[in-house]
Amino acid sequence: MTGATNDAPGRRTAGERYGETLFVRDTPEHRRLRLLGEVFDPLSIRTLDAIGVRPGMRCLEIGAGGGSMARWLCGRAAPAQVVATDLDISPLVAQPEENLLPLVHDVTLDDFPAHSFDLVHARFVLNHLPERDEVLRRIVRWLRPGGVLVVESFSWFPVDGSPDAGYRKVLLRWSELLRDTIGTDSRWARNYPSALAHHGLRDLGANTVTQHVRGGSDLADFWRLTVGMSKEQLLGKGYLSAKEYEEFAARMRNVDFWDLAPALTQAWGRKAWGRKAWGRK
């Protein structure tokens, strides 16, 4: 165990990146990304529908993963092109769409011209990037005036409050492993609206959805797979004992287990139209 506490979110001690030793792209990661889509797409779609995705909108899906949200955007924004980026675009290439442009693009390094997109969506991506604030600044530059940014990540408070010490400990230690290894911040999302305001976005909105996780459900499978992918590091680096890990996996399979899962926080904001709009209260 590193002895780390959760008081220094975003700190990177080992300097690794997403996908290097954690979330390595292989069969479990592809299955996990598919499950992620199945569980969270309905929540994302509800919010994007309320914001309004219309034919002709130029959309960017950042860190598209399995690609389910990018494909949904393709249906809504056609005939406009949807650009879907990731470090690994194989799931996007495997299921092409006429108006889908998969792009190998590291959002921390690679650019787009200013004012390229009407809508930018990034789900479960910014929380994993230590330079998230700078990334946000660049994303806002890529929006055209009047364009909308929608960001989504987990909020950890339902886990902090769980009376089940075993369940709580495994998820907290897992989030500490991610923080210490790749700089993930599992607590940033609750302040998304302030971050969007800081970068000049207007017409802000936010929503947090808490869900129950029941053992044996898709959501439980998602968390079992997600934590399971880091088993070697969790046990090898002393974050958890094998017993604690196995008991968590058993809970996620037990249909009598119920608790609150990490919540989904969604936030959105619009880029101001011009000088007048910037001066508006």
Ligand X SMILES: C[S@@+](CC[C@H](N)C(=O)[O-])C[C@H]1O[C@@H](n2cnc3c(N)ncnc32)[C@H](O)[C@@H]1O
Residues 56-115 that bind ligand X (CB under 6 A): 63-66, 85-88, 106-108
In angstroms, rounded to a whole number, what is the distance separating the alpha carbons of residues 218 and 220? 5
Question: CB of residue 241 vs ligand X: minimum separation in angstroms?
Answer: 26
- Cβ–Cβ under 8 Å, residues 77 and 53: yes
Q: Which of 201, 214, 213, 193 is nearest to 266 (CA)?
A: 193
DSSP E strand stretches across the chain: 59-62, 82-86, 100-104, 117-123, 143-155, 201-209, 212-214, 258-260, 263-271
Q: How many residues bind ligand X (CB under 6 A)?
A: 21
Specify the residue, 69 or 80, whose C-beta has the smaller distance to ligand X: 69
Site for ligand X, residues 117 to 156, rule: CB under 6 A:
123-125, 128-129
**Residue whose CB is less far from ligand X, 134 or 246:** 134
Subset of residues 14 to 33 that bind ligand X, contact rule: CB under 6 A: 18-19, 33
Q: Contact at 8 Å (CB) between 77 and 51?
A: no
The Cα-based distances of 6 to 149, 173, 186 in angstroms read: 28, 9, 9
For ligand X, the closer CB: 31 or 202: 31
- Smallest separation, CB 143 to ligand X (Å): 17
- Amino acid, single-letter form, for residue 164: D
Q: Going residue by residue from 192 to 231, which x/- string records binding to ligand X, judged by CB under 6 A?
A: ----------------------------------------
Residue nearer to ligand X on the CB measure, 125 or 148: 125
Q: What is the DSSP letter of 152?
A: E
CB of 256 to ligand X, least distance (A): 29
Beta-carbon contacts of residue 36 (< 8 Å; ≥ 6 apart): 65, 66, 124, 222
Query: Of 125 and 234, which CB lies nearer to ligand X in the complex structure?
Result: 125
Q: Which is nearer to ligand X, 104 or 250 (CB)?
A: 104
Asked if residue 186 lies in contact with residue 126, where contact means CB atoms within 8 angstroms, the answer is no
Query: Residues 251-270: x/- map of binding to ligand X (CB under 6 A)?
Result: --------------------
CB atoms within 10 A of CB 9: 15
Query: Least distance in Å: CB of 175 to ligand X?
Result: 13
* Residues at the contact surface with ligand X, assessed by CB under 6 A: 18-19, 33, 36-37, 63-66, 85-88, 106-108, 123-125, 128-129
